[in-house]
Amino acid sequence: MIPYPLIDPVLIKIGPFAVRWYGLMYIFGFLSSYLLTIYQMKKKAYKFGRAPIEDLYFYLIIGLIVGARLGYVLFYNLHYYIERPLEIFEVWKGGMSFHGGLIGTFIIGYIVIKRKGLDFITVLDLIIPTCPPGLAFGRLGNFINGELYGKPTDLPWAVIFPGGGNVPRHPSQLYEALLEGVVLFIILWFYKDRKKREGDVSAMFLMLYGIFRFFCEFFREPDVQIGYVFNLITMGQLLSGAMVLAGIFLKFYYLPKKGNVYH
């Protein structure tokens, strides 16, 4: 069994203001994505410069935070927030959904990219390969917070989380950090230079993330307020399955009709 590292979720606290590790993980995620995107632009000529991409990242941050919060409210705890609507704004208490954040960034990204006169699929394929490091940082933040832990297990790398009772559990946050972060990044980073058409990387991201997340959910404790949907799968698996279907649609139906095949 691996001892749980007792890391204070609050890094620095000055009066009523606190800097939390989880918040820093969002900053690390966006910074790594931005730097990797700029690195790609230096290696390959694009029809647009850095200025529109820098503007875009500002809006993507807003889209992610708003989408992640609203996604959690709608997908995971709607009944609770209907009775306590003001608590929707209390994001420091936790409750963020990756799938909601993905939808939020997609919507605001589409609007901003189109307004700047850029090709949406091209920009999407540029940024998507840089997202997995941010996912890894986010899961590390979950681990530090001792939240979203796994099911009980007797495996040698099990962890006893402070909020999970005196029971060894799967460190499912680390499983997700490895698969959705490290492994997915390696695959997409190499695949982006071998794709056959614009949009292939985005389709690959949707399919692989959905598959990896669906798999990891088998080891993760389901949300107590929801349990299993249809007494069969978790909400995370349901949403991840939808991502896989969206990726298949994009890869095998939409993109072939759009054309733009590399030779």
- The per-residue pLDDT for range 35-72, each reduced to its tens digit, is 999 999 998 888 888 999 999 999 999 999 999 999 99
**Cβ within 8 Å of residue 221, ≥6 positions away:** 148, 149, 150, 151, 164, 169, 172
The reply to whether the predicted model has a pTM over 0.85 is yes
In tens digits, the chain (263 residues) has pLDDT values of 888 988 888 888 887 788 888 889 999 999 999 999 999 999 888 888 899 999 999 999 999 999 999 999 999 999 999 999 999 988 877 789 999 999 999 999 999 999 999 999 999 999 999 999 999 999 999 999 999 999 999 999 999 999 899 999 999 999 999 999 999 999 999 999 999 999 999 999 999 999 999 999 999 999 888 999 989 999 999 999 999 999 999 999 999 887 666 54
Say what the pLDDT of residue 263 is: 41
CA angle in degrees (0–180, nearest 5) for 94-57-216 = 45
3-class SS of residue 261? strand
Comparing C-alpha atoms, which of 215, 147, 175 is closest to residue 4?
147
Q: Residues 88-104: pLDDT tens digits?
A: 988 877 789 999 999 99
**With contact defined as beta carbons under 8 Å apart, do 175 and 219 qualify?**
yes
Handedness of CA 77, 78, 84, 90 (dihedral sign): positive
Comparing C-alpha atoms, which of 181, 205, 48 is closest to residue 118?
48
Say what the pLDDT of residue 46 is: 86
DSSP state of 86: G
Say what the pLDDT of residue 262 is: 57
Q: Which two tokens stand for residue 80?
A: 């609770």
Spatial distance between the Cα atoms of 161 and 159, rounded to a whole number of angstroms = 6
Q: Which two tokens stand for residue 72?
A: 């959690």
Say what the pLDDT of residue 241 is: 97
Q: Which two tokens stand for residue 86?
A: 């003001």
From the number of C-beta atoms within 10 Å of its C-beta (0-12, 13-18, 19+), residue 211 rates as middle
**With contact defined as beta carbons under 8 Å apart, do 29 and 41 qualify?**
no
Q: Which residue has the tokens 């056959």?
A: 196
